Amino acid sequence: MIDVPDDVLATLDGDASASTSGPPGEADIDPRFEARLAEVEQDRLRRRHLVTLIVLGVAAAVALVSLIARAAIFDVDHVEVSGTNQETVAAVLDAAAVREGTAIWSVDLGAVEDRVEELAWVAEARIGRSWPDTITITISEYAATAFVRRDDDTVALLGADGRVLADDSIAPPGIVEIVGVRKTPEVGAVLYPPGVGAVIVQIPASLARRVQAVDVSDGVTLRLAPTGEIRLCTADDLAAKGRVATDLFAARAGSPFEYIDVCVPTVPVVK
């Protein structure tokens, strides 16, 4: 039997204890790595909290907007109309069909505009919101530029685009009669040919003063007073046709003529 010194035995016992204590590899973990892992975990928790706060904030904002939108303070309490002359405020309100108590943000402004512009005298309508509770309607009206005689007691007033604006017992002064119409449209419809209502307002004033009537029985012709006519054929290119006709009329210095044809303004014909 071999005797082993006590100090050697103690050394061996210490080495064995060190090799078996604690999890394997624990002594090999770098403290800096452990610190970094802790930072990553903290960042992950912070991001989760931030996302949660954002979601809650958005939900609260949506709820607040919904609550405000339903609040009575934003209901329509007033509809204001301006620009009326021929049309009445009552007629505009009826056409607009905006009900009091409707949420102001839900009013379809384009649809209101379309409905108001169906009124015969309304050339243009502009619709707006005046927060918190008012819808504004501003209209521009047509001016009567011509008329068609329906019968001995009734005339139909026309706008520049040929739209029939209203029926009346007499035509106002300063507008021209359209003759030769096969069928006069109802109020709100447009007379054919298109643009015939604008003839007088688009030719030179010196010529317009001599026009007794606009004849549409066979094309578009200006009947002059006391005699003579100017043939336009169509109601387009009126500025050029009017200038040529005026120059030719002036060049004749009052000499009588049967007609001046400016259907093609660059090739006029005088008879």
For the chain, the structural domain boundaries read 31-70, 73-141, 146-270
Q: Is 210 exposed, middle or buried (0-12, 13-18, 19+ CB in 10 A)?
A: middle
Q: Is 118 exposed, middle or buried (0-12, 13-18, 19+ CB in 10 A)?
A: exposed
Q: Scan for tokens 């739209």, then name that residue.
A: 163
Q: Which pLDDT score is estimated for 66?
A: 61
Q: Which CATH class is domain 146-270?
A: alpha beta
Q: Which pLDDT score is estimated for 42?
A: 80
Q: Which pLDDT score is estimated for 65?
A: 63
Alpha helix stretches (DSSP H) within 73-182: 89-96, 109-116
Q: Scan for tokens 């624990």, then name that residue.
A: 26
pLDDT in tens, the chain (271 residues): 445 455 544 544 554 444 444 455 455 667 776 777 777 778 777 778 777 878 777 776 766 666 555 555 789 999 999 999 999 999 999 999 999 999 999 999 999 999 999 999 999 999 999 999 999 999 999 999 999 999 999 999 999 999 999 999 999 998 999 999 999 999 999 998 878 899 999 999 999 999 999 999 999 999 998 889 999 999 999 999 999 999 998 888 778 899 999 999 999 999 8
How does DSSP assign 160-219, residue by residue? TTSBEEEEESSPPTT-EEEE--SSPPPTTSBPSSTTGGGHHHHS-HHHHTTEEEEE-BTB
73-141 and 146-270 have identical folds: no
Q: Which pLDDT score is estimated for 70?
A: 58
| CATH T-level assignment (fold) for domain 73-141 | Ubiquitin-like (UB roll) (3.10.20)
Q: Which pLDDT score is estimated for 170?
A: 94
Kindly state the tokens that stand for 106. Answer: 């839900």
Are the C-beta atoms of residues 196 and 220 closer than 8 Å to each other?
yes
Q: Which pLDDT score is estimated for 6?
A: 55
* 14 backbone φψ class: left, alpha, beta (φ>0; ψ -120 to 50): alpha
